[in-house]
Amino acid sequence: MNARERYFWDLTGYFVAKAVLSKAEVERANEIVDRYWDQVRVGGSTARDSVAFAGTGRPMLPGVLEFPKPDCDPFRDMLAHPVLVKYLNVMCGKGFRLDHGPMFIVSNKGTAGHTMHGNGEPHRPHVAYHHQNGMPWVGGVTVAWQLHDCKEGMGGFACVPSSHKSTFPTPKGVRTGDDDMGLIKQPVVEAGDVIFFMDSAQAHGATPWKLGTTRRSILFKYAGRTCARGGPSQEVSPPEIYWDREIVEGMTPEQLALMYGPYSNHKGRVPYLAVGEEGTVQIDADARE
């Protein structure tokens, strides 16, 4: 990562690496996608309460890493691609790992946008952005491989550049895109480009897809070595699995709360602790994730 690239990344919270895949590599991946098209599943709309982003549910193609060989190869080759290793070693530090994904978004004309989310609301240090001693660091980086061209205003990944450094919550109109103050940016991409963005630290989402051709964006969710967001960490986190049934048997709920393995996207499943007014440790009923 050169000094110009690092400046752009640090300032804006996203970065587009150009022409990482050759034309032939893009064609091969797209030809495989066409053959597996009957496996596409349409989910719900990700526009939530937005008027500007309203549209149809989001189509996804699951399981690309498990396609029979050789069809999985172009997607497995993305996992540890040299360009990705070069950038992620700087962005989230050596030892980064795949936390979850890939999510393969294959929107059609009219697919809803995705309201802006992330940007540290609430602040979560393990996925936040910080820098020290001349080095940047962010806990979660999403790497989105683009198998299509998309010009300005036509939809797809969008973010609020620099929002990873914002001190204040995102105004509702910016979150929904209904009154975005000109702050939402949809980067122009060409097939073969790769978008890096600060997942969770930055306000990001998508604008509705307007092209007659399908969107083809494959998102791999990486994390710093010591961050655990979701993925399999969710399954191994319960105390009786992460430690052992005999070790945790008979523990109080407060003791058990400390025996969960690390992961952050638990949506309230992992209990937090607080000290009550009478000085005793108790499960924190007000804790939010």
Ligand X SMILES: O=C(O)CCC(=O)C(=O)O
**Given 157, 196, 222, 263, the residue binding ligand X (CB under 6 A):** 157
By CB under 6 A, the count of residues binding ligand X is 11
**Residue 186 engages ligand X in binding (rule: CB under 6 A):** no
Q: What is the number of other CB atoms lying within 10 angstroms of the CB of residue 6?
A: 17
**Residue 146 engages ligand X in binding (rule: CB under 6 A):** no
CA 100 to chain centre: 8
Of the candidate spans 30-38, 89-97, 198-206, 267-275, the one that interacts with ligand X by CB under 6 A turns out to be 198-206
**Residue 155 engages ligand X in binding (rule: CB under 6 A):** no
Residue nearest to ligand X (CB): 206
Q: Are 264 and 236 in contact (CB under 8 A)?
A: no
140, amino acid identity: G
Tokens of 40: 């596409």
Q: Is 42 exposed, middle or buried (0-12, 13-18, 19+ CB in 10 A)?
A: middle
**Residue 219 engages ligand X in binding (rule: CB under 6 A):** yes
The stretches of 49-185 forming alpha helices (DSSP H) are 73-79, 82-91, 172-176
**Given 20, 105, 106, 201, the residue binding ligand X (CB under 6 A):** 105
Query: Residue 111: which residues within 8 A CB-CB, separation 6 or more?
Result: 55, 56, 57, 58, 59, 155, 208, 209, 215
- Smallest distance from ligand X to CB 216, Å: 11
- Smallest distance from ligand X to CB 67, Å: 21
- Smallest distance from ligand X to CB 208, Å: 10
Closest CA to 267 of 226, 220, 218, 234: 234
**Residue 114 engages ligand X in binding (rule: CB under 6 A):** yes
Give the total residue count for the chain. Answer: 289
**Residue 88 engages ligand X in binding (rule: CB under 6 A):** no
- Smallest distance from ligand X to CB 281, Å: 35
**Residue 185 engages ligand X in binding (rule: CB under 6 A):** no
Q: Output the CA angle 113-16-105, nearest 5 degrees.
A: 35
- Smallest distance from ligand X to CB 85, Å: 21
- Smallest distance from ligand X to CB 253, Å: 33
**Residue 14 engages ligand X in binding (rule: CB under 6 A):** no
**Given 206, 223, 227, 270, the residue binding ligand X (CB under 6 A):** 206
Which helix (H) or strand (E) is 157 found in, with range?
Answer: strand 156-159
**Residue 205 engages ligand X in binding (rule: CB under 6 A):** yes
Give residues in contact with ligand X (CB under 6 A).
105, 114, 142, 144, 157, 199, 204-206, 217, 219
